[in-house]
């Protein structure tokens, strides 16, 4: 209230003026920085969550593919064992043929020919299964590499968020710049993961 050039503030007027002055000062001294870091941190956290999901998915795929490789390897091993059994039977038939009288040699030769044919069929199946096992193994290795990229990207983004928190507490611009730099590195690593590099 004013009276004859003399102005008196009430307690309420003083608090409003002080609050307005404080808000102006905090806006000038980093209020914009706080809002900016808060929004960027939310975006980084969202991208980090997506990267983390992709990292988990590729790790699960790697495990499944490795399991498929082991299954195919076992099937191939079974076929090679079957092949070996046919080889043993063929060798015994050859021995029997060589020791048999002339009238029985044709019988054993027929068995030898049959075993040879069966061995070739078994060999083709075993080689195909080994190729499939190798393909699954390679796919598993690729998924693990991609998983590591996603994990690296997620880790860098988490460090960026930690820097954001420190920047908010200390109001140091260089920490804010560090946060942006690390977020950029995290995005680049995430892009490498997405491109299978």
pLDDT digits (tens, 9 = 90+) for 13-49: 444 454 445 444 444 455 677 888 889 999 999 999 9
Whether residue 20 lies inside any domain: the answer is no
The string of DSSP codes covering 135-183 is HHHHHHHHHHHHHHHHHHHHHHHHHHHHHHHHHHHH--HHHHHHHHHHH
DSSP-based three-state secondary structure for 3: strand
CA distance 60 to 72: 19
Whether residue 11 lies inside any domain: the answer is no
Determine contact, residues 157/51, Cβ cutoff 8 Å: yes
Counting the structural domains of the chain, the total is: 1
Whether residue 27 lies inside any domain: the answer is no
Reported confidence tier of residue 171, pLDDT bands at 50, 70, 90: confident
The average confidence (pLDDT) of the chain is 86
- Domain housing 54: 36-194
Whether residue 109 lies inside any domain: the answer is yes
| Neighbour tally for 145: CB within 10 Å | 14
pTM: 0.70
pLDDT digits (tens, 9 = 90+) for 124-157: 999 999 999 999 999 999 999 999 999 999 999 9
């Amino acid at each position: 209230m004013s009276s004859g050039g003399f102005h008196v503030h009430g307690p309420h007027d003083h608090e409003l003026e002080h609050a307005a002055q404080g808000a102006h000062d905090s806006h000038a001294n980093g209020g914009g920085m706080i809002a900016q870091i808060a929004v960027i941190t939310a975006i980084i956290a969202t991208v980090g969550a997506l990267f983390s999901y992709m990292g988990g998915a590729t790790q699960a795929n790697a495990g499944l593919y490795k399991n498929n490789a082991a299954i195919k390897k076992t099937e191939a091993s079974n076929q090679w064992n079957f092949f070996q059994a046919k080889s043993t039977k063929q060798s015994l038939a050859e021995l029997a043929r060589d020791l048999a009288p002339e009238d029985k040699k044709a019988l054993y030769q027929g068995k030898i020919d049959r075993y040879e044919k069966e061995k070739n069929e078994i060999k083709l199946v075993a080689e195909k299964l080994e190729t499939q096992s190798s393909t699954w193994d390679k796919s598993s290795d690729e998924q693990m590499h991609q998983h590591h990229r996603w994990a690296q990207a997620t880790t860098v983004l988490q460090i960026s968020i930690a820097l954001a928190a420190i920047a908010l507490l200390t109001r140091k611009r260089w920490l804010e710049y560090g946060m942006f730099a690390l977020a950029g590195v995290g995005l680049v690593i995430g892009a490498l993961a997405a491109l299978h590099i």
